[in-house]
Amino acid sequence: MTLVFVAAVTVCLAHQSAAQPTWGYGLQFDGTDDYVETAAAVIPDSGDFTVECWAFCPTAPNSACEILSQGSAGNAFYLGRDAANNVRLGDSWVATDIPFPLGAWHHLAVVKTADSTCLYIDGVLRTNRVFTLANPAASTGLRIGGQYGELGEDWPGRIDEVRVWNVARTQEEIQAGYNHPLTGNEMGLRALYRFDEAAGVRVYDATTNHLDGTLMNRPRWAPSYWWPTLALNGPNPLTNQQFQPFVDPGAVVKGSAVAIAAGFDISLALKSDGTVVNWGIGTSNRPPPTGLSDVVSLAAGS
């Protein structure tokens, strides 16, 4: 954990390009050996299903890695990336030839019916096949952050808002709900993992099915913000203070911001990749330490 405290503050205005829902926590996986596992199967072993999740991966790996999986050899369902950074889907499809988007939060949805399988990224249909994807066996639990069994293929990034349905969701339903929180009582929703516990060794299913999971090998709780990007604007950050709003098209924070902090003559933004940016007159004489990474919280004082 890294905490940043800066003895300074300038009050600046932040402009958000779209409405900002409340953000919470997700899980950071080290890509080595940590994962979450449920005791019982979550993805249905027969019939239609839909699997949704938000995932963040900063860079392309040199080997396969999975966001989640269930089943065993021959029937396994998994959603992840191959060594060429293409999305891969289960033993009965594997390589989709669709590039996995890197460096930001993205929503992925897989919809399986009796005669087709569709892959959506950020609500957009990217590919589909007219064949039936195998249902995973009910003899194993759902694993989040790695491949089933002892195969590894561990996820090197963050995961949040895993949703499993026992129905095939339509594109309209996915687009209407993928960037909005759920209540847990939606029709056909089998399991919902918000990962907002922020501590402990358990993740709790928000539905009445109580298909809870256990953290294995210490994945780390981390801020999660998978809604629109925050843009920070102001004219000359060296002269604007005294609680004056400012506008500067050149001051833009690329990537989703999870928090901002304003002080007397400096402001800070914590980005979803765990790095910190700053602006204001105080940046010249009281800058944050350089080279920060994996930051989870920040504050600015006077």
Q: Tens digits of per-residue pLDDT, 26-65?
A: 999 999 999 999 999 999 999 999 999 999 998 887 889 9
Query: How is residue 163 written in tokens?
Result: 């949703």
Q: Which positions ≥6 away from 244 have C-beta within 8 Å?
A: none
Collapsing DSSP states into helix, strand and coil, what is residue 298? strand
CB 98 within 8 A of CB 121: yes
Cα(first)–Cα(last) distance of the chain, in Å? 23
Domain boundaries, the chain: 2-20+228-301, 24-224
Tell me whether residue 232 is exposed, middle or buried, using C-beta atoms within 10 angstroms of its C-beta: 0 to 12, 13 to 18, 19 or more.
buried
pLDDT in the model for residue 235:
44
Report d(CA 126, CA 118) in Å as an integer: 8
226: pLDDT strictly greater than 70: no
Strand, helix or coil for residue 174: helix
| Interatomic CA distance for residues 140 and 73, integer angstroms | 11
pLDDT-derived band of residue 291, with 50, 70 and 90 as boundaries?
confident
Q: How do beta strands 295-301 and 2-7 pair?
A: parallel
Sort 199 into a burial class: Cβ within 10 Å, 0-12 / 13-18 / 19+.
exposed
Prediction pTM value: 0.70
Condensed to tens digits (0 to 9), the pLDDT of residues 180-225 reads 889 999 999 999 999 999 899 999 999 999 999 999 999 999 887 6
The CATH code that applies to domain 24-224 is 2.60.120.200
Q: What tokens does 226 get?
A: 């998978």
- Could you report the per-residue pLDDT of 113-138, keeping only the tens digit for each? 999 999 999 999 999 998 878 899 88
Size (the chain), residues: 302
